[in-house]
């Protein structure tokens, strides 16, 4: 059996700065958004995480699917005891109007994004050298870095996939 070992070509990063690597104008989540809104955003867009911003547009954390799973695992919810018997006609909305046929009562999740996000913000400026961006991600053991302008406003995100896209033989 002859196993030929083929040498891999050297890969080069075709980017000079963080601005060359980043995905500009990233989709973000407000810190006061509901957990339900955040889950819909992540699932509908196919994202594993998104930056969390304050009212001024400054990153204050990141919300990942892992954060949501941990929250769900740690949450204990006790239901109000139900009466032994009730008539569906007794069910009313908050303003005491009767619920029509086909309506159901949903328990609303009160958790806000700020309650469960990871509050760490690792960021670089658009002028940060690309090699430093890669080193920072490796040293911090993170999957993404935020790119912020001189005022601290979120202008981009760099993910591992963004870096891989810029690798060329």
Domain positions in the chain:
12-74+106-168
- pLDDT of 6: 72
Contact 150, 125 (CB under 8 A): yes
Residues paired with residue 12 on neighbouring β-strands, in sequence order: 168
pLDDT(42) > 80: yes
Region 43-69: mean pLDDT is: 95
Q: What value does the mean pLDDT take over residues 129-148?
A: 96
d(C-alpha 50, C-alpha 113), whole Å = 11
CATH code of the region 12-74+106-168: 3.10.580.10
Q: How confident is the model at residue 15 (pLDDT cuts 50, 70, 90)?
A: very high
Q: What is the pTM of this model?
A: 0.76
Question: What is the percentage of the chain residues whose pLDDT exceeds 70?
Answer: 79
76, 81, 86, 91 alpha-carbon torsion, rounded to 10° = -50
* Interval 74-100 mean pLDDT: 66
């Amino acid at each position: 059996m002859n196993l030929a070992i083929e040498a891999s070509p050297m890969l080069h990063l075709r980017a000079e700065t963080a601005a060359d690597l980043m995905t500009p104008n990233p989709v973000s989540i407000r810190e006061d958004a509901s957990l339900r809104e955040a889950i819909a955003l992540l699932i509908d867009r196919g994202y594993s995480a998104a930056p969390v911003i304050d009212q001024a547009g400054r990153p204050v954390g990141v919300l990942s699917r892992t954060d949501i799973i941990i929250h769900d695992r740690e949450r204990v919810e006790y239901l109000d005891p139900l009466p032994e018997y009730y008539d569906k006609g007794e069910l009313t909305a908050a303003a005491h109007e009767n619920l029509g046929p086909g309506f159901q009562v949903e328990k609303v999740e009160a958790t806000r994004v700020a309650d469960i996000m990871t509050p760490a913000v690792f960021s670089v400026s658009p002028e940060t050298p690309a090699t430093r961006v890669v080193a920072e991600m490796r040293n911090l053991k993170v999957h993404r870095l935020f790119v912020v302008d001189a005022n601290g406003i979120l202008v981009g995100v760099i993910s591992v996939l963004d870096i891989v896209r810029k690798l060329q033989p």
